[in-house]
Amino acid sequence: MKSNTEYDGFSIATYVINMQERTDRLAHILKQFKNRPEFDVTVLEACKHEIGAVGLWNSILKMIKLALENDDDVIIMCEDDHEFTEYYNAEYLMQNIIASHEQGAAILSGGIAGYGEVVPLTENRYWLNTFLSTQFIVLYKNIFKKILNYKFKDDDVADLVLANLTSHKMILYPFISRQKDFGYSDITTIHNEQPGLVQNMFNGTEQRLEKIRQAYLKYLM
């Protein structure tokens, strides 16, 4: 692999969505990015709405508008329950951000709780048709205006809407990100009713992807 020095001094605009009163989540997410200079972190106060998904989407719009003002070509959208896995390292992320861009990606996810279908592109990167979870997503500039132009409905779900805005979306596996279980969710109420549901969904998704990865490696040889 290439030396880490290749990416020294390079940082990615990273927008963290956080409700001001959720100080436990803020402390958690700031700890995740501590001593990681590859991320240029901006904490955005989340937009509130009686429908959690609408509030999240309004927060995403706020983030995209700021990214355009800052002339960002690529950003990381991060929710405050994101947690790095043991598979994360800066070089791996940077290489895949660049490679995904070269393949025309609009979205690159660091970890998901569910998907429909996938196609292996490399051992560690897969095209997919839809996905669940938005705790750590790389968004490229070619999707910014699509996000701004979408008319979000009260019964929409943010992750599914993002997935449907483009066919050019990819996932990293093994995951570099998972959702930390705080025991509650401000967005999806079912997670409050079924403790451990999110972690079970991530575990099941990883098991599915591992089978596909093993098949890909078997027939690649």
**Cβ pair 134, 168 in contact under 8 A:** no
Q: pLDDT value at position 196?
A: 73
pLDDT of residue 1: 33
**Half-sphere exposure for 44 (CA within 13 Å, toward CB):** 26
pLDDT of residue 34: 96
d(Cα 112, Cα 138) in Å, to the nearest integer? Answer: 13
**What is the percentage of the chain residues whose pLDDT exceeds 70?**
91
**Residue-level pLDDT, tens digit, the chain, 221 residues:** 344 457 777 899 999 999 999 999 999 999 999 999 999 999 999 999 989 899 999 999 999 999 999 999 999 999 999 999 999 999 999 999 999 999 999 999 999 999 999 999 999 999 999 999 999 999 999 999 999 999 999 999 999 999 999 999 999 999 999 999 887 666 655 555 566 788 899 999 999 999 999 999 998 86
- For the chain, domains (ranges, CATH) are 11-220 (3.90.550.40)
- pLDDT (0 to 100) of residue 182: 80
Cβ-based neighbours of 57, under 8 Å, separated by 6 or more = 152, 156, 158, 161
pTM of the model: 0.91
Smallest CA-to-CA distance from 209 within 139, 116, 146, 136 is with 116
Q: Which of 71, 134, 143, 77 is nearest to 106 (CA)?
A: 143
- Please report the pLDDT score of residue 5 as a whole number: 55
pLDDT tens-digit map of 38-57: 999 999 999 999 898 999 99
- For tokens 């429908």, the residue is 51
Give the Cβ contact number of residue 182 at 10 Å.
15
Give the model's pLDDT for residue 189. 57
Buried b (16+ CB within 10 A) or exposed e, 3-17: eeeebeeeebbbbbb
pLDDT per position as a tens digit, 180-215: 988 766 665 555 556 678 889 999 999 999 999 999
d(CA 123, CA 126): 8
Question: How far from the centroid of its chain's Cα atoms is residue 49's Cα?
Answer: 22
Which residues pair with residue 179 across a beta bridge? 82
